[in-house]
Amino acid sequence: MNRKPEAGYSMVELLVVLVFISIIAGIAINGGYYAFDASRTSRTVAQLRGVADAITKYQSDNSTIPGGGLQPVSAIAATIAPTQSNFPTRDGWDNPIYYEPFVTAGGSLTFRLYSYGKDGASDGVITGTWVDFYSDIVVEGSSFVQTRW
């Protein structure tokens, strides 16, 4: 009795296809995560610009900046933007934005704003270079001193 070979795929062929699909899916997922983090970084940069502009406006109106030490922006939001109900106090990763007044930069007193990035933890030092999404984003006065852009 002659038997016809069965039509279909072998187990090896199916495994090769599954491995290939898994590799493509992994690449796509990593690209998606990168795009989400890039978007959150862009949102954070825009929020820091808005907070810096509000503090600069407050400074021009009152000839001083809000005092205190390193603190969340939410602690001074009512002072610098009393009429804005949607004032940004959190960064793109939903971590608090921090404010530090009376920092000496370039021979004059100014302020700093910090977003501690994706992990929400301070890097501890301002290097002036941005490495990854875990790096701090820092505004000094109205200028970014450490950011991706």
Q: What is the CATH number of the domain that holds 79?
A: 3.30.700.10
CA 75 to chain centroid, in Å, comes to: 20
CB 73 within 8 A of CB 81: no
- What is the count of structural domains for the chain? 1
**Residue 5 belongs to a domain:** no
Q: Which pTM value belongs to this model? A: 0.80
pLDDT one-digit tens code per residue, 34-83: 999 999 999 999 999 999 999 999 999 999 999 889 999 999 999 998 88
**Residue 2 belongs to a domain:** no
Q: Mapping DSSP to helix (H, G, I), strand (E, B) and coil, where does residue 129 land?
A: coil
**Residue 4 belongs to a domain:** no
Structural domain span for residue 103: 11-146
**Residue 95 belongs to a domain:** yes
